[in-house]
Structure 1
Amino acid sequence: MLVRLTDVKTPTPDVVAALTGAPLTVLIIIVVASLTTVIVRFLISRTVRGLIATEAKGLRLAPEKFGVAPNPRRKQRLETLRTVLVSTTTALIGSVAVLMILTTLGVNVAPLIASAGVVGIAVAFGAQALVKDVITGGFMLIEDQYGVGDRVELGTGGGILASGVVEEVGLRVTLIRDDDGRRWYVRNGEILRVANLTQGWAYAVVELRVARTTDLTLVRTTLSELTTQMRNEDLYADVVSHLEPECLIQEVTADLVALTWRVRVSADHDLSIASELRHRIAVAFAERGIELAP
């Protein structure tokens, strides 16, 4: 059976318009959104990898200048930031693409946008404190201000909120265990300043009060010998700094001289080193006849 060319029906203009109109536009939107997502992910990942490499290279080249070794937790924070940024941008691009597709298909999205705006304003007014806590917590995690196990002092403009060891860091609250065993729940939005006693180095501080007639040169020599002795021991070799300790005269009266001996040590060892120094100082002073003031 032969079919004549005149019997073959050509697509009508309506069919061509239907196939090349909205469906083609929807396809283009999907393709563009997908390519944009891939490009944004690549740029974010490349930027984060560059930050990690730059920081590690700088710390390797000048460890004495920075005073601390490369922090692996910093890399983890940057990786977390990368994940959050990728997820956020993907959701944003996807939302815009969905709205454009709905508009292309003839759906009126104006009521949806208006409703979302009203809901957003209501939520923003009702959850200002929550939003503030979450945003502040996010920046704390990104900047690596402190982490689990760090000894910190958290404060506001008017005083100290809590001090102790960090047990948990969340987007809304930080959990602190103080030296009395109490657990503090501190809202991140209330934290205005952070003193971290664990990062880098700290001072082991010993305060002394000796009699006014005491030979201060002998006192300083004794303290220096005890510090050097600790530094040369295997137990403290990696803890006590090679830098010269500081001897500060705080007060001089008719009866006594108050002084402070400060030794730079590795972070989170200041209390233990100070305690050991006090023990050795008490023994050495007794042996050398150095009299402590009441």
Structure 2
Amino acid sequence: MSALFALLATSRTTTFALTATDDIPVDPALADACGDDPRALCEWAFDATESKWTAQLVDWLIGRPLGILLILLGAWILTRLARRYLTKVVTRLMKPNLESAKRQLVRMGIDKHEVLLGTEEPSEIVSARRTARAASISGVIGSTLTVIIWVTAFILVLGEVGLNLGPFIAGAGIIGVALGFGAQSLVKDCIAGLFMLMEDQYGIGDVVDVGEATGTVEEVALRTTVLRGIDGTVWHVPNGEIQRVGNMSQLWSTALVDIDVAYDADLDGVRTILMQTATDVCASEEWADDILEEPKVLGVETLGADGITLRLVVKTAPGAQWALQRALREAFKYALDDAGIEIPFPQRTVWMRNGDS
């Protein structure tokens, strides 16, 4: 037994140690020079020179800088590839499904597909809208991937330098939690904006009502939506604050006109005049391309204090309803005046009393 212990004691200098991470035997001298997990360049220098200092010098001057360079190069290549292919994929996904939109319009009884959807080549507004959506979505996803890639590369570089990453990761986690609590509104705005873009709730050129502001969409960003009101006011609305969206210019719109007539007016005659006048206006060269369906007189809408209100509607191309409504009101005024039909208006009798009498 004593002879066995002596043999083990004399052979300790020639045996190999086992690393903690894997069961590959490592020469103790090599482990002392290059560590338990030696790099190939350090191991080669040690085998060639059998010098601990030479191996460490080669590792620090060539091996570690080369490893850092490879990490940074790999991160740069991954970033470029992610941004390039991400933009293509998102742009392809943002391509409108014209066939699905046509089927939806057919179910609604609208046959003028070319007015609403255009031909195979999208219009400038549709193209700009799709480009803006694709740029916003690919931008946020690309930025997120870029941050993840470079943070991972930074951690790997610190590992190459030989720093202990445990305290660094713990500190970064605490800072991340603190920033997360402080930037809740920013994160809320960005997430809401991302879903708005993906669902195509509105785009550049649409007229929308987002609650506090109403106007034409000029810019759709990840954090805010920029609207320009009819009076020229520019509204910057945080996406996280938008609770509901009313889009007044998507696929098709409706021109709605209410006309008041006196109680003694012939309603059948008024309907005939309104229908004929609206048909003439819609068939004119100015409006023929924007009209999707023939005008419809829905009938009596209200029995008011001053007169009877009749309602007429016309389906139009998106955004054309307001100008058509103004043109119809003007035409109705002239037509009713020519027919001798009174358009009622409130009248008041004012008595002036003299204080002396």
What is the TM-score normalised by the length of structure 2? 0.64
**1:78–1:171 Cα change, 3 Å:** closer
The reply on whether 1:125 has 2:181 as its aligned counterpart is yes
Cα distance change, pair 42–62 in 1 and its aligned pair in 2 (3 A): farther
Deviation, 1:81, is: 2.1
> How far apart are residue 281 of structure 1 and its match?
0.6
Greater shift, 30-39 or 135-144, is seen at 30-39
The 5 A counterparts of 1:1-294 are 11-12=48-49, 37=79, 40-41=82-83, 44-53=86-95, 55=96, 58=99, 64-65=105-106, 68-69=116-117, 70=122, 71-72=126-127, 73-147=129-203, 149-155=205-211, 161-166=212-217, 168-180=219-231, 182-252=233-303, 256-294=307-345
Deviates more, 1:237-246 or 1:13-22: 13-22
The 1:269/1:130 distance shift into structure 2, 3 A limit, reads same
- Deviation, 1:97, is 2.5
Offset, 1:287: 1.6
Letter in 2 for 1:237: A
Q: Contact 2:275–2:297 (CA<8 Å) still a contact in 1? A: no
1:225 partner letter? Q
CA distance in 2 between partners of 1:150 and 1:24 (Å): 53
CA-to-partner distance for each residue in 1:163-195, whole Å, 9 max, x for gaps? 234455554444444445555443332111111
- Partner deviation per Cα, 1:14-66 (whole Å, 9 max, x = no partner): 6789769867876775676567556645653453243244x255379659449
Q: Identify unmatched segments of 5+ residues in structure 1.
A: 1-8, 156-160
Residue pair 2:253, 2:319 contacting (<8 A) in 1 also: yes
SS class of match (1:238): helix
Identity of aligned residues (%): 35
User: For structure 1, which segment, 260-269 or 138-147, has the greater mean C-alpha deviation from structure 2 after superposition?
Assistant: 138-147
* Corresponding residue SS for 1:125: helix
Q: Could you give the per-residue CA deviations for residues 136-161 of structure 1, whole angstroms, max 9, x where no partner exists? A: 34444554444455432112xxxxx1
| Contiguous gaps of at least 5 residues in structure 2 | 1-45, 346-357
Q: Is the 8 A contact 1:44 1:86 kept in 2?
A: yes
Change (3 A) 1:233 1:61: same
1:118 partner amino acid: I
Structure 1 pair 240/208, CA: closer, same or farther in 2 (3 Å)?
Answer: same
Query: 1:110, CA displacement in angstroms?
Result: 2.2
Q: Which has the larger radius of gyration?
A: 2
Provide the rounded CA distance (Å) in 1 between the counterparts of 2:163 and 2:187: 33
Change (3 A) 1:119 1:148: same
How many pairs align? 280
Structure that is richer in strand per residue: 1
CA deviation after TM superposition for structure 1 residue 208, in Å = 1.7
Hey, what's the Cα distance between the residues in 2 that align with 1:183 and 1:50? Answer: 32
Give 1:108 deviation, angstroms: 1.3
Q: Is the 8 A contact 1:152 1:197 kept in 2?
A: yes
Distance 1:98 1:139 in 2: 31
CA distance in 1, matches of 2:186, 2:94: 31
Deviates more, 1:206-215 or 1:24-33: 24-33
CA contact (8 A) 2:204 2:219 kept: yes
Shift of residue 261 of structure 1?
Answer: 0.9
Distance 1:183 1:34, change over 3 A: closer
Amino acid across the alignment from 2:48: P
Higher relative contact order (CA 8 A, sep 6+): 1
Q: 1:42 to 1:186 in 2, by over 3 A?
A: closer
> What is the CA distance between 1:232 and its match in structure 2?
2.0
Q: Distance in 2 between matches of 1:257 and 1:271?
A: 23
User: Following the alignment from structure 1 to structure 2, what is the Cα–Cα distance between the partners of residues 287 and 28?
Assistant: 86
Q: Displacement, 1:218?
A: 2.3
